[in-house]
Amino acid sequence: MVQRSLQLRRYMTASFFRLAGIPIRGTIKKSLRGISVLEGPQKYRLEGWKRATSRFRRNPLSTTGLVIVIGLVLMGLLADYIAPYPMDAKGRVDFINKLLPPSLEHPFGTDEAGRDVLSRIMFGARIDISSAVTVQLLVTFVGVVLGMVAGYVGGKTNVIIMRTADVFITIPPLVLALAATTAFTPDITTAILAVTIAWWPWYARLVQSVVLSVKEEQFIEASRAIGKSPLSIVFGDIFPNIVSVVTVKFTLDIGFVILFMASLSFLGLGVQPPTPAWGTMISEGKSYLPERWWMSAFPGIFILLAVIGFSLLGDGLRDAFDVQLEE
């Protein structure tokens, strides 16, 4: 059973990559397909990838989005090396230098504890982006699996799953997160779980509807005629057809989740001091507005940047996938 799920996960990641045409490493591929890797396939997979990326690149907006996202991610990853005052994000305080406006030494100024805002923003990227991505991954996994099962099996299972989804949709995520973090430990994990619970139904619904329509296609009939088991049809034939839709939604939603998690940290839930998160920083800086604007403004700008970046990226992906199909 464990082996099957491992195989399944590997297959899913592999088919995702294969779908995007990214040449994946020979070892993984071999264990799944049992074919020796040849010259031919590599060349054509690269070609497919090249066409998709060229189309993507042709759209200046989506390239901008990609650049922004990559920039933010790199910023977060390399924070330790590029932040001017890394210790400011890890608990150092320097009250002598508190509330300084933007200057050469502190491009974004310092906050009320004398910590360099720029460095804190860089480390904050880690929290904000990674928590949003984690939420999305969890939500996607749960939603996709349930959606596919509901869509393909149909009947009572479908009804049960969809009605459950309906129930969860009615729960406002913010309220649930508030309740959860009040009832349990007010840290980031709780917040992530709370958002996941409120968010998964959207994906389940989306996937279920796509599966319902794909299910009726002739190529599914053909697979049944060949003798494929329902499981293999769902993951082999139907899954590639939902990947594009799910990926697009995934990317577009990250922006929203970032915003949401920022709201949570703004309210003081989720991240605890001294760990920097953009929302917390805005909250801490709000009592100093409007004279000492830099403490809230810059984190806010970065939230905006992140949301815009992911949205443009998602839009671009959607166009890229669409065109591939339109061809």
Partner 1 sequence: MNTSNLLTIRDLTIDFTTYDGTARVVDDLDLYVDRGEIVSLVGESGCGKTVTAKAVLGILPMPPGKIAEGEILFRGQDLLKTKDKDLQVLRGKEFGFVPQDPMTFLNPIFTIETQMFDMYTFRGSPDVDPLQYLRSFRDSRRRADTVQRALDMLRRVNIPDPDRVLRSYPVELSGGMRQRVLIAMALMSRPSFMIADEPATALDVSIGEQINEVLETRVREEGISVLYITHDLGVARRLSDRIYVMYAGHIVETASTQELFKGPKHPYTLGLLKSVPKIYGEISRGIEGVIPDYYNPPPGCRFHPRCPHAMPVCRRERPALREIRAGHRVACYLYSEEKKNE
Partner 2 sequence: MLRVLDLKKYFPMTGGLLKRKIGEVKAVDGVSFDVMKSDTLALVGESGSGKTTVGKMLVRILKPTSGSIFFANEDIAKHEGDSLKNYRRMAQMVFQDPTSSLNPRRKILDIVIDPLNVHKIGLKSERYEMVTRMMDRVELPRDFLYRYPHSLSGGQKQRVGIARAVIMNPALVVLDEPTASLDVSVQANIVSLLKEIQKEYGLTYVFISHNLSLVRNIADWVTVMYLGRAMEMAPTEQLFTKPMHPYTIALLSVVPTVSEEEEKLLPERVRLEGEIPSSVRIPKGCRFASRCPKAHERCSSDEPPLVDLGGHFVRCHQIEEGA
Binding site for partner 2 (CB under 8 A): 19, 33-36, 40-41, 44-45, 48, 217-219, 221-228, 232, 236-237, 240-241, 243-244, 324-325, 327
* Beta carbon nearer to partner 2, 153 or 178: 153
29 touches partner 1 by CB under 8 A: no
Rounded to an integer, what distance in angstroms lies between the CA atom of residue 196 and that of residue 113? Answer: 34
- Which residue of 29, 55, 126, 249 would you call a contact of partner 1, by CB under 8 A? 55
Task: Name the residue among 295, 296, 299 with its Cα closest to residue 99.
Answer: 295
Closest to partner 1 by CB, 59 vs 241, is 59
Question: How many residues sit close enough to partner 1 to count as binding (CB under 8 A)?
Answer: 3
Residue 19, judged by CB atoms within 10 A of its CB (0-12, 13-18, 19+), counts as middle
* Residue 322 bridge partners (DSSP): none
Q: Which does 46 bind (CB under 5 to 8 A by kind): partner 1, partner 2, none?
A: none
Q: Which residues pair with 110 in a beta bridge?
A: 116
- Residue closer to partner 2 by CB (options 2, 35) is 35
Closer residue to partner 2 (CB): 64 or 209:
209
Identify what 19 binds: partner 1, partner 2, none; CB under 5 to 8 Å per kind: partner 2
Report the alpha-carbon distance of residue 104 to residue 102 in Å, rounded.
Answer: 7
Q: Which is nearer to partner 2, 125 or 214 (CB)?
A: 214
Task: Report the nearest approach of partner 2 to the CB of residue 237 (Å).
Answer: 5
CB neighbourhood size of 202 (10 A): 17
Query: Which two three-digit tokens encode residue 46?
Result: 């690269």
Identity of residue 118: L
Q: Supply the minimum distance, in Å, between the C-beta of residue 50 and partner 1.
A: 14
Distance CA 84, CA 115 (A): 11
Please, which residue, 58 or 163, has the CB nearer to partner 1? 58
Backbone angles phi, psi at 110, to 5 degrees: -125, 160
Residue 323 near partner 1 by CB under 8 A = yes
How far apart are the C-alpha atoms of 321 and 323, rounded to whole Å?
A: 6
* Binding-site partner at residue 223 among partner 1, partner 2, none, CB < 5 to 8 Å by type: partner 2
Q: Residue 235 CB, nearest distance to partner 2 (Å)?
A: 12
CB atoms within 10 A of CB 232: 13
Partner whose binding site includes residue 232, from partner 1, partner 2, none (CB under 5 to 8 Å by kind): partner 2
From the CB of 323, what's the least distance to partner 1, in Å?
A: 8
- Which residues make Cβ contacts (< 8 Å) with residue 248, sequence separation at least 6? 314, 317, 318, 321
Nearer residue to partner 1 within complex by CB, 73 or 323:
323
Instruction: Enumerate residues 6+ apart whose C-beta is below 8 A from 299.
Output: 117, 121, 124, 278, 279, 281, 282, 285
The interface partner of residue 34, options being partner 1, partner 2, none and the CB cut-off 5 to 8 Å by kind, is partner 2
Residue 238 tokens, joined: 């139907």
Smallest distance, partner 1 to C-beta of residue 51, A: 10
CA dihedral 234, 237, 242, 247 (to 10 degrees): 110
Residues 86, 79: contact at Cβ < 8 Å?
yes
At closest approach, how far in Å is the CB of 316 from partner 2?
19
First CA to last CA distance, the chain: 41
In the complex, least distance from residue 250 CB atom to partner 1, rounded to whole angstroms? 26
Report, in Å, the least distance between residue 208 CB and partner 2: 18
Residue 323 contact among partner 2, partner 1, none, beta carbon within 5 to 8 Å by kind: partner 1
Binding positions for partner 1, rule: CB under 8 A: 55, 58, 323
